[in-house]
Chains A and B, each alone.
Chain A
Amino acid sequence: MIRGFIGALSVTLGLMAGTASAEEAFIVVQSTTSTQNSGLLDYILPGFEAETGIDVRVVAVGTGQAIRNAVNGDGDVLLVHSKAAEEQFVADGWGVERFDVMYNDFVLVGPQSDPAGVKGGSDIVAALTAVAGSEVPFASRGDDSGTHKAEMRHWNAAGIDPTGASGTWYRETGSGMGATLNVASGMGAYVLTDRATWLSFGNRGDLEVLVEGDPRLFNQYGVILVNPEKHTGVRAAAGQRFIDWLTGPDGQAAIESYMLDGQQLFFPNAK
């Protein structure tokens, strides 16, 4: 057994060494589920990795959690979609500078039978008011993600506090976008989702897009280098190189060319 222990220990140390040797050539990007689940990052990252030899390791969580992880220093670059929270992150000194990367939009999806009667509308606030009025199930992320923050802004604009109805028609899943779509699909609920996750989602059931095209449904993504002055371990040079690439012509062209079923999912708009 002692031999077993030493064997295990040496192999484990070998494993640690294995991860350490690749250390100089990778960065950790804290990002959101939408950029990963839509397949965008899998599509664009090989181009950057081939050009620079820098391996990009993506941790895909909600925007709220991604920002908290970055505050803890557990990432070199932040790629998320909640502008106000991102600007706060920079203002508090955790990030160096925020850059626009790309945008798409949110859509309200719901059951084809549309019991709240919002189909075809383009006014998200009116649609949410109708959903709340008819008390049909609405699935919310409830997880402080970028999409959740956007949803709460629209409820706020409608002058409705849905959390009072939490557990009745308002269902907070506390989960990612995909998991929440699964819940909505299962219970025939309305749900606000980013278009990219929706288009790449495989378990729609009888859900369909009911409300879209409201300018307020604009969904902007930004990228920020985690401040190396706050956390000495931040791989600032490689991280900055990634940001330069992502907001430069090559990265922007890669984002523009990503299609799913003939539809463009993200629209580059770096300045």
Chain B
Amino acid sequence: MQGFASEFNQALSLILQGDAELWAIVLLSLRVSLFAVLISAAIGMPVGAALAVARFPGRRMLIILLNALMGLPPVVVGLLVYLMLSRSGPLGVLELLYTPTAMIIAQVVLVTPIVAALTRQVVEMLAEEYAEQLRSLGVSQMASVPVLLWDARLALMTALLAGFGRAIAEVGAVIIVGGNINHVTRVMTTTIALETSKGNLALALALGAILIGIAIAVNAMVSSLTLRAEREGLRHA
């Protein structure tokens, strides 16, 4: 590990000088994971909220299952999505394997349970709080879902951030369905895996530092948005 400092400096200067190749990798990571989170939100939030307010047999089991799915092993998800998208698989004709779209699909599978499970938790608490009001207004269970989601929006940002954190940091699934193809499906985590396998540990670590930096930046951005929304909420109230 000689020259650790120099390799670290080299990686940092690549970033600061706007090395096109490196930035393309960073942008692809962000693009894939942000889309995955958006799609997961569109699926996971309504499902989570519905599960929070609806009462039906087997609901408890479904919640346990959903919570367990938060811990899906990425490699298994990668394999499942690979088997679906492979030319030998049922969706092979779509030719999606080894594309960013395949990576988005894998991340959606990983992130949706997280968003749904956390939404369920947040909305269920809120629903208990509002139960009397909603009942007096004669709002049905399902009709209350959009209202509850809207009122819980700030807390739900945390659910989305948790999902984003999972997506951007994940390597096991995207390396299988993306193939880590240079300029096509190479993202930050697969680059880190590749550089590690080349024995370029310092460069891999420096890329890891960037990844953490991005995660901090995204979290800070969301947090400042949330704060502003909270303040405005107070002003209107």
Q: Which A residues contact B (CB, under 8 angstroms)?
A: 1, 4-5, 7-9, 11-12, 15-16, 19-20, 23, 28, 33, 36-37, 42, 57-60, 69, 71-74, 176-179, 181-182, 185, 200-204, 231, 233
Q: Is B17 an interface residue (CB 8 A)?
A: no
Q: Are B93 and A233 in contact (CB under 8 A)?
A: yes
Q: Which chain B positions have C-beta within 8 A of A7? A: 38
By the criterion CB–CB under 8 Å, are A8 and B35 in contact? yes
In the complex, are the beta carbons of B198 and A178 less than 8 A apart? yes
Question: What residues of B have a CB within 8 angstroms of the CB of A177 in the complex?
Answer: 197
Question: Please, how many angstroms separate the alpha-carbon atoms of A200 and B200 in the complex?
Answer: 10
- Contact call A72/B197, Cβ cutoff below 8 A: no
Q: Which residues of A contact B179 (CB under 8 A)?
A: 28, 57, 59
Interface string of B116-150 (1 = CB under 8 A from A): 00000000000000000000000000000000010
Does B101 contact A16, Cβ atoms closer than 8 Å? yes
Please measure, in the bound complex, the distance between the C-alpha atom of A11 and the C-alpha atom of B200, giving whole angstroms: 36
- 14 contacting pairs across A/B (C-beta < 8 A): A4-B42, A8-B35, A8-B42, A15-B31, A19-B99, A19-B101, A28-B98, A57-B98, A59-B179, A59-B180, A200-B198, A202-B199, A202-B201, A203-B1
Instruction: Give min CB distance, B184 to chain A, whole Å.
Output: 6
Question: Beyond A57-B181, A59-B98, is A73–B87 a contact (Cβ under 8 Å)?
Answer: yes
How far apart sit A164 and B48, CA to CA, in the bound complex (Å)?
50
- Interface-central residue, B35, B38, B96, B198, by most chain A CB under 10 Å: B198
Contact of B199 among A9, A11, A182 (CB under 8 A): A182
Q: What is the bound-complex CA distance between A73 and B199, given in angstroms?
A: 31
B181→A72 contact, CB < 8 A = no
Q: Give the residues from 7 to 39 in chain B that come closer than 8 angstroms, CB to CB, to chain A.
A: 31, 35, 38-39
Q: Judge if B70 is at the interface, Cβ distance under 8 Å.
A: no
Residues of B participating in the A interface, judged by any CB pair closer than 8 Å = 1, 31, 35, 38-39, 41-42, 45, 86-89, 92-93, 95-101, 104, 149, 179-182, 184, 194, 196-201
Q: How far, in angstroms, from A73 to B87 measured CA to CA in the complex?
A: 5
User: Among the listed B38, B97, B198, which residue makes an inter-chain contact with A37, where contact means beta carbons less than 8 Å apart?
Assistant: B198
- Asked if residues A178 and B104 are in contact (CB atoms below 8 Å), the reply is no
With A and B bound together, what is the CA distance between A185 and B87 in angstroms?
39
How near does chain A come to B163, taking the closest CB pair, in angstroms?
13
Inter-subunit contact A179/B101 (CB<8 Å):
no
Is B149 in contact with A1, judged by CB distance below 8 angstroms? yes
Question: Within the assembled complex, what's the spacing in Å between the Cα atoms of A9 and B35?
Answer: 9
Cβ-defined contact, A181 with B97, below 8 A = no
CA of A57 to CA of B100, assembled, Å: 13
B197 touching A179, Cβ below 8 Å = yes
Determine the distance from Cα of A201 to Cα of B198 in the docked complex, in whole angstroms.
5
Closest chain B residue to A20, Cβ basis: B95
Contacts of A69 in B (CB 8 A): 86
Known A20-B95, A59-B179, A73-B87; contact A15-B196, beta-carbon cutoff 8 A: no
Contact (Cβ within 8 A) B87 A19: no
State the CA gap A7–B1 with chains docked (Å).
46
A7 to B97, CA, bound (A): 23
A125–chain B nearest beta-carbon distance, Å: 28
Q: Are A8 and B39 in contact (CB under 8 A)?
A: yes
Interface centre among A7, A20, A33, A178 (most CB of B within 10 A): A178
Q: Are A233 and B92 neighbours in the complex by a CB distance under 8 Å?
A: yes
Q: Which residues of A contact B92 (CB under 8 A)?
A: 73, 233
Cβ of B45: which chain A residues have Cβ within 8 Å of it? 1
Contacts of B89 in A (CB 8 A): 72
Distance in Å: Cβ of B134 to nearest Cβ of chain A: 19
How near does chain B come to A40, taking the closest CB pair, in angstroms?
13
Question: Are B42 and A58 in touch, CB under 8 angstroms?
Answer: no
Minimal beta-carbon separation of B195 from chain A (angstroms): 9
For A23, list chain B residues within 8 Å (CB).
95
With A4-B38, A8-B42, A74-B87 known as contacts, the answer to whether A42 contacts B1 (CB < 8 A) is no
Indicate if the CB atoms of A12 and B98 lie closer than 8 Å.
no
A98 to chain B, nearest CB (A): 21
Knowing A8-B38, A73-B88, A74-B87, the reply to whether A204 touches B199 (Cβ < 8 A) is yes
B80 CB → nearest A CB, Å: 14
